[in-house]
Amino acid sequence: MDILLKYFDDFTDTQLKKWELLFPTYSEWNAQINVISRKDIDSLYLKHVLHSLTIAAVADFQPGTNIVDIGCGGGFPGVPLAIFYPEVDFLLVDSIGKKLKVVEGVVEATGIKNIRTKHARIEEIKGQKFDYAVSRAVAPLADLWRWAKPILKKGHTQEMANGLICLKGGDLAQEISDSRLRPNKVDVYDIFPEEYFQEKYLLHVPA
């Protein structure tokens, strides 16, 4: 957990307790349902929690903001963001029920109050609009945008325009070209200069 405190120093006692609970809770659940690779669980705070908080370092979500996590898997980036932003509402969506079982177990164990989960494909989400969609390494940018665009509110209600925010790695030139989008691109290594974050990026596509 020290890696979080290296970059963030204003957590409340409640947040600190939740951060502390993440490792034992994920370790316990991961032994039953493997949502994090065995070799990565010991690096949970660096590779999963801090990586998710790249979004928090770039976007200052205001209370009442409504966010959907597309293909949340074991809860990243949604779970860390929900702890970071306790007054922001998160809907974590995944088509694989056992992954949501882990998320729900973590939410219960840590006392997170601002997460809802939905077992569905993102295309099945109807009648709801969100300020932002977030995602981490789920699908190509073109697909993420096709899924996110219909459920995003248009506008610029806060510092970062409403839209899709996704975390990706590697050479993204072809993927961005194929998407025909012009996302804002942020190098994660510029925010968190740790070796693991080399060639990892945050992309933001305004709605």
pLDDT for the residue numbered 104: 97
Quote the pLDDT of residue 149.
96
> Do residues 89 and 195 lie in contact, with contact meaning Cβ atoms separated by under 8 Å?
no
What digits encode the pLDDT tens for the residues 31-87?
A: 998 888 888 899 999 999 999 999 999 999 999 999 999 999 999 999 999 999 999
- Is there a binding annotation on residue 170? no
Q: Count the neighbouring beta carbons within 10 Å of the beta carbon of residue 62.
A: 13
HSE-CB for 50 with a 13 A CA cutoff: 23
Residue 133's pLDDT is what?
98
Query: pLDDT tens digit string along 175-205?
Result: 999 999 999 999 999 999 999 999 999 999 9
Tokens read off for 112 = 């997170």
pLDDT in tens, 130-173: 999 999 978 999 999 999 999 999 988 788 999 999 999 999 99
* pLDDT tens per residue across span 9-36: 999 999 999 999 999 999 999 999 888 8
Judge whether 71 is annotated as a binding position: yes
Global pTM reads 0.96
38 is known to lie in a ligand binding site: no
By CB atoms closer than 10 A (0-12, 13-18, 19+), residue 101 is middle
Judge contact between 154 and 207, C-beta under 8 A.
yes
Q: Is the dihedral of CA 24, 25, 28, 34 positive or negative?
A: negative
Res 155: pLDDT = 83
Whole-number pLDDT of residue 38: 81
Tell how far CA 149 is from the center of its chain.
17
Cβ(128)–Cβ(151) below 8 Å: yes
Output the pLDDT for position 162.
96
* Residue 122 among known ligand-binding residues: yes
Q: Structural domains in the chain?
A: 2-206 (3.40.50.150)
**76 in a known ligand binding site:** yes
Q: What is the structure's pLDDT at 79?
A: 98
Average pLDDT, the chain: 95
Separation between Cα atoms, residue 131 and residue 159, nearest integer Å: 12
- Gap between the Cα atoms of 102 and 37, Å rounded: 14
